[in-house]
Structures are given as structure tokens and as C-alpha cells.
Chains A and B, each alone.
Chain A
Amino acid sequence: MSLTNASGLTQQLANPRGLAWVVGIFALAFLSWTKFASVMDEYEIGILIGTSAGLAAFGLAWRSMQTLFTIVLLMALAGIGSYAGIEIGAGADKVMATAEKAFFLKFLFSSQSAIMWMNALFVLAMLTYFFALWKDSSFSGKVATSLTWSAVAFGFAGLGVRWYESYLINPDYGHIPVSNLYEVFIVFALVTAVLYLYYEQKANTKALGGFVLAVISAAVGFILWYTFGREAHVIQPLVPALKSYWMKIHVPANFVGYGTFALAAMIAIPYLWRSKLEATGKTDSVLLTRLPTLAVMDDVMYKAIAFGFAFFTIATVLGALWAAEAWGGYWSWDPKETWALIVWLNYAAWLHFRMSKGWRGPVMAWWALGGLLVTTFAFLGVNMFLSGLHSYGTL
């Protein structure tokens, strides 16, 4: 993802839609501030301003973001509005009963329903993408893209409503839904999907959709098992160590990293496939006409990893800053920390080989694919097999 240069943003700002977008975002931020200032500390106000600026810029750089945000906002408000009958702190039972009764909540916008829609739509999108690739159907490709967008909208709306539900259950419980393994898996699926949609639009790579959605569908599988097998979807209060504004920035930044690394790994699969076809001289394969060229896939892989690496660096530094405040030291060699370092070292090495030595081709693609194993272990394996300070989601 190339950061659109400042002049590009200014140009966008000059057109009425761009201006309306920026004004709208900051108006919303102001509204939120007037409503919630009493419960926000100065850091949270800073995060609100920073998030708004980031969102405004993102929307200017990528128009589709504007549409997505507006739809998510409306969906989440519909969900929150449907809870109008009960008050903050009403308790889990009342929230559940309302979610079961009100039509909108039951079928669409309670956090559970919305997340289930997200799950279903992601899997459907994957199947449709593959169908489109198989049949070379551009219509099916468009349907798949729309399904992915819809899944993303439901997912974000679901998280938004879940945030509100946590306060409805008990103001003491209230927290942004990025606090445990269940919640971050949803974040992971959403971030990966949004990043994919960005590249799909910029590089016209619908043929890659199925591969990327496959890793998202795997995440969906985990979410389903975690929900039905372990009841992990139940909103739990936060442990004292997580009660900090840092969580709001550290966790999402991390998941931009995880999401892009997963995205790059999944693109490595069609890359390897294609390079094998080309190497073995099977020039008559239809896949060669349907899959993007190696150069395009290589470029998307590199851009994704570079972008993810930058965010992963930020996330790790934010983590160190937080640890210095909560655990008494910026680095404790906690298993999660250590694995984050391993992931960082892995991609640092990958980027060195590409940037300094100019390495391309199957080796780098295999490496990107292998990176997913390292990333998955850092993200999931550590919680499953190792214990430490970061024990916020166990299996």
C-alpha cells in the first residue's frame, strides 16, 4: 500500500465528497467527545483524535472506505438503537433476552447475529471467488467481492455493537472488543479482508480472492468452534492489567501486521502455482490467463509485507511502552513478546533479501508462506502451548 502523497490527499479534500467526508468524521468525533468526555482520559481523547485523522486520511486515499464506514455506522446504530429498551448495566440476561426478542437484533445486528453473518458471508465469498476463478466468470467475481464487502460490514458493525453490549451488561465490564482471543480473531478476519479488498481494487486481482478468503475462512472455522465448543463469545470483564488506553492502539496495530502477513502468505500460493506452470512450460493452462502475472503478485506480496512490517514495528514498540507502564519493564521475554520478536526478525530478514539483494521468485514466496506458520504460532500457538504474562486467551 503506497501512502498517497500529501498532494493527492489535498486534491481529494478539494472535491465536495472528500470535504464532506473529513468534516463528517470530525463532526462524529466531536459528537462522541461531547457525549463521552466524562469517562475519557486525555489519552483516550488523543486516541479519538488520532483515529479520526487516520480514518479521514484513509477515506480520502481510498474512497470505498467512506462507503464502508457509513454503512457500518448505520448498521451499528441500528443495532444499538434496538437495545433502546434497556439501560446501561442491565445485566447479561436482559441483554440476551432483548437480543432474542427484537427482530433487528435477533436476525441482523446483535453482535452475535452480525458476527454469524460475517462468518457465513466470508465462507460464501471464498466459494464464490473460487467458482469465479474456475468458470472465469467476471459476474461471479463481482458477487464474491460484494459478499466480502458485506461480510466486512457485518463484522465491524458486530464489533461495534459488542462494544456497546459490554456496557449494557455491566459498565464495569465495558471495553473495546479486542481483549481476548475470540475478539481478536474477528479483528484478524476483518483486517485481512479489508487489506485484500484494497489490493483487489488497486491491482485488479479478483483471481486471488479465493486464496485470501481461505485463510479468513479458517479463522471463521476457529471462531465457530470457539463459540460453540468453548462459549468464548460470552462477554467477560477485563483483568486489571488490560484496563488501559494502550489496549486500544496496541492490539489493532498488531493485527494490521498479522493480517498483512497472512495476506502475503496466501498470495504466495497462486504465485507458486503460476511459477510452477511457467517453469514446466504448461503455457496452455487457463490459469495463466486468469491469475495475475508473477510481477503483480510479487508486488502485492512485497507491499503487504512492508506495510505489515511497519505496523508490526509500531505495535511492538507500543507494546513495550505499555509493558513499561503495566509490568514494570519494557521487555520481559514473555513468550508472546519473544514470538513477536521472532516474527519481526523473520520479516526483517525477508525484507532485507528483497530490498538489498533483490531476491524475487519462488524462494521468497515459499518464505512468505512459511512466515504464516511463524505468525500463526505467535498469534495462536503461544496461547495454546505457552503461558506467560500475555495469557488473555486460552484454549
Chain B
Amino acid sequence: MNGLLVLPVVIPLITATLALLFRKSSAMQRWIGVAGMAVLLVSVAMLFRDVYGDGIQVLQLGTWEAPFGITLVADMLSMLMLGISAVMGLIIAIYSIYDIDKQREQFGYYPLLHILLMGVNGSFLTGDIFNLYVWFEVMLIASFILLALGNSRNQLQGALKYVIINLFSSLIFLFGVALLYGMTGTLNMADLALRLPEVENVGLVTTVAMIFLVSFGIKAAIFPLFFWLPASYHTPPVAISAIFGGLLTKVGVYALIRVFTLLFTQDVGYTHTILIWVAGFTMVTGVLGAASHYEFRKILSFHIVSQIGYMIMGLAFNTALGLMGAIFYVLHNILAKTNLFLISGIAQRLMGTFELKQMGGLYRHYPFLAALFLISAFALAGFPPLSGFWAKLTLVKAGLSLGEYVITAVAILVGLLTLFSMTKIWMTAFWAAVPEKGVPDHFGKMPLFGAGNLYIMVVPVMIVAGLIILVGLFAQPLLEICLTAAEQLLDPSVYIEAVMGPQ
């Protein structure tokens, strides 16, 4: 029993409550928002120390023994995801101070942001499949409102697509849960892992696995279920785009990793072959979509799709090296992708648009911003010595050691195409001459630091860029932690014993 386990869920709830009570004052809300994220980060760090030192930590909520009550479980994978989500939460909370307008603050932006984090953290921690559904819904309802807040034509269109497809995917998920319950009579994931191998009708288990693949696939935006993502992620303010692009799809990936390592390992030959195909198509379609667009955030949205493919590829390999690569890729991708979104926001503040064809001259007037963009873009494309290089290297090595040459070749090719899109942004927004018309008056005069308070947006970007470099230069310790996480995933008996007690 470890009481700390409940904190990543309770702290955002307390913060949201406080922010609701003080909703009249924007200043108070901002302070509460940032302070809540900071406390969350500290609590996650304390929990991380326990998991790192003593292995998997478990808490039976309400003292109801597993498998009857709801169990919270923190293994290494959960901890890494929690850690990165807490860091991103803090970064976004700081960035929002400047980016989010007063009206959105009055309509509950900060409470919703923390409820969103609560849902994300709950999904990472829970050891109960129905509870996972509940956390998904918590996360979804907060994201629905964040996406629609503002009611502009664009946002409503994006929100409608997002809401309907996600409602549908939740219902499929619930149907899958119902089938699992009907087959085994339990909802605790560790207990399910014990009982699923005893189910005689293996075909039915595989069917349920596919239902979960479709449902989580919609949330993770894999091929061919990704179309809602590029249609909606570019509509809300940048801080919201960034937290969606960074975290939400990765919760889907986390759920896929969890169920396909813990529950559905009966017919690996069938399920994981499908995963490999899905991974390949996701990578290729995402990157091709990005190549055909000229809106900053639409390009980034398509790249989210493409990068999800890499993570699914690592999962599909189902080896320690592959899973390690997938987990490391998730961490790296959250850093790089969120940072690119945040940079797009700064660029929009300076140029007044997200359309690349109307941008230019950022390198000439803001070389520091250009450097920050290059770090994140090169990390995304996988340049040494940045974080993306190690992520891709591990995945490629895993692919080659398994003899999966085709998918590995696709992965490398997609890396090149990613570079092409990043170069496109660089060439137009940063390197091209300043467009003659349509440029706001403050362009070139507004400094990144000092007057205009733009530094509130730049400092978080600098911190994330620093983290990207740090992860790249000192990759070994993090890779080792990822390997521990992967080994825990491949040997579910430790997880099961931690939850259910010695068998």
C-alpha cells in the first residue's frame, strides 16, 4: 500500500476545485494553475522514487481487496507517462498565462485543464479496465469543452467531428469491456490477465482484442482511424492544441501498450501482425498528409499521426528492445511535438497567421526562436545527438534484430520525409523574405524578452528545448529506465503478483 499513488489524481482535482472557487479572478486562477502543476510534479517525483527503488506500487482504493475494488497500480511505464504528463502540464500552465485570453479564463480554462490532467493521470494509474473507461471519459469531457470553448465557426466544426468520433469510440470501448466481463466475470486487469488464458474460445478473445484496437486506435489516431485529428487539432488556441497533441493521443497509445502486453497475448501471431501493418500505414499516410499541407498546425497534426506509427511499431515487435524503443519514443515525441506546437503559437503571435504562405523572415528577425525551432524539428526528424535519434535508433535496431526489414525501411524513409516537412516550415516561415503585405506592425519590433511579456511564452519553449537536448546527450539512464519498464511489461507475473498478492 502506498498512499502517494492517489496524489496524481487528487492534486489536479483539488486545484480544479480551488480554481473554480476563485473563478472571478484571473490572476488567482493563473497562480493556482501553475502552483497546482508544480505540486503535481513534486508528488510524481516522490512516487517515481518509490517505484524506482522498490518496484511496482499498488493501492487498493477504499480498502476493497483486489479484484473486487478499484486498484491503482504504478509500474515503470505508468511512472514515465505520469512524469512526462506532469512536466508538460507545468509547461502548458505557464504558457497559458499569456496565450489564453481573459474570456476563456472566465469560462473555466484552468479548472478544465486540471480535470484533463486528472483524467490523463487516472488512465495511467488505474488497474481496472472499467475504471480506465471512466478516466477516459473524464479526460474526454474536459477535452470536448476545451476544444469548443470560444465558439468560433472553425472551432465548432472541429469540435463536432472530435466529439462524435470520440463518443463512438468510447461506446465501442465499453462494449469491449462488457464482452470481457461476460467472458471472465472480472474487470481487474491483473485478474483478467490470469483468467483470459483459461477462456476456451480463443477466437472470441481475439475479437475482443480487435474491438479494443479499434477503440483505442481512434483515440490514438492510427491508420485508418486518424482522420478526425488533423480536422480538429488546429482549431483551438495553441496551448490547448499543444496539450492535446502532446498528451491525449499518447493516452491511447498507453492503453494499447497496456492491453496488448498484459491482456491480449494469446494470439500474438495474428494481433501483432495487424499492429505492424497498421504501424506502417500510419507512418506513411501521416507524413504524406503533412507534406501536402501549408498550415503550420495542420502539418504538425499530421505528424502526430505519423509518429504514432513508430510507437505502434515498437509495440508490435513485442520484444524488450521494441517496447523500450516505443516507450522512449512516446517520451521524446511528447517533448518535441508539444514544443513545436508552442513555437507555432509564438510565430503566430509575431506574424499574425498560421498559414506558411503568409509567413517569412522569422530567422532574420528572431534568430533565437529559429534555433529553438531547429532543435525541436531536428529532434522530431531524428538527428543525432537529439532525443529523436536514440528513439529511432532503438526501434530500427529492434526491427533489424527481428528481421522485419520492410517495416524498418519504412520507418527510416518516413524519418526522411519528416525532415522534408520540417524543412518546408523552415524554408517558408523562417528563411523566406518577409512577405510584403499582411505582416502585423509589431513584427520585428516586438522583442522575445522584455516589453510585451512574450517571454512568458518563450521560457517554457526554452525549458522543453533544454530537456530535448538533455535527453539526447544523456540518453543512457533514461533508456535503462525504459528497458526496466519494457521488461516489466513483458513479464506480467510481477504486475499480477503486485496487485493480487502471491499466487
Same complex origin of A and B: no
